[in-house]
Amino acid sequence: MHNQVAAIVVLDSDGGRIAVKYFGEHDDFKDFAAQQKFEKQLSEKSNRLTGRNDVEIMMVGEYLALFRSSNDVVVYLVGEGDENELMLLELMNAIYQCICTITGNQVWRRSLLEHLDSLFLMLDECTDGGIIFGTDPAIITQRSNMLEGEPQEGQPFQAALASAREHISRQLFSQS
């Protein structure tokens, strides 16, 4: 069995949506109205439990939800009720560490909105269709910053293209 998440939800402290990713065919997430209802349940229940800057765990309906508050942001990681809590905790810690990296340790709603593209890239690197893809924050951050893979492979192509341009320019100017 793969370790899976049903949703990753980032809300502000008032329950307003900052970024969300839902996975799978769950009736609780089937449309926007259902998602908003679920997010409201998450927010209301976590507001009663929040008080520290640690990862907390709660049940919301049939789902296991881990959450962490920081300033005016709450990050939720939602899994099935029988999901492995330790894997979810590892992923939550990785997501939070990546958010800190993205925002320069300024985890506020405004800074997340300013870096929304990086936030979504990071969330894509953590999971693939809900399956936990990685829990190492350094690797996730590196992938989401595109420091490995495509850019490095593209560098020889760029160098070859520049060399070809230079060669053609020399030939054209030498014939004139």
Which pLDDT score is estimated for 122? 87
Q: Is residue 173 part of a domain?
A: no
Q: Is residue 60 part of a domain?
A: yes
Q: Is residue 23 part of a domain?
A: yes
Q: Is residue 58 part of a domain?
A: yes
Q: Is residue 167 part of a domain?
A: no
Cα–Cα distance for residue pair 143/124, rounded to 1 Å: 10
Q: Is residue 172 part of a domain?
A: no
As a residue count, the chain comes to: 176
Q: Is residue 158 part of a domain?
A: no
- The helix (H) or strand (E) run that includes residue 147 is none
Q: Is the pLDDT of residue 152 over 60?
A: no
| Closest alpha carbon to 19 in 88, 102, 87 | 102
Q: What is the CATH number of the domain that holds 67?
A: 3.30.450.60
Kindly report the average pLDDT of the chain as a whole number. 82
Q: Is the pLDDT of residue 11 over 90?
A: yes
pLDDT tens sequence across 71-127: 889 999 999 888 888 889 999 999 999 899 888 888 889 989 888 888 888 888 888
- The torsion angle over the Cα atoms of residues 22, 23, 25 and 29, rounded to 10 degrees, is -10
Q: pTM value? A: 0.77
Query: Which residue range forms the structural domain that includes residue 63?
Result: 7-145
Phi, psi (deg, nearest 5) at residue 75? -105, 130
Cα–Cα distance for residue pair 42/56, rounded to 1 Å: 12
Which pLDDT score is estimated for 173? 66
Among 117-121, 157-161, 167-171, the minimum mean pLDDT is found in 157-161
Q: Let me know: does 105 contact 93? Beta carbons within 8 Å.
A: no
Domains contained in the chain, number: 1
Q: In which region does residue 111 sit, left (phi positive, over 0), alpha (psi from -120 to 50) or beta (all else)?
A: alpha
Which pLDDT score is estimated for 3? 67
Which pLDDT score is estimated for 27? 78
Q: Is residue 162 part of a domain?
A: no
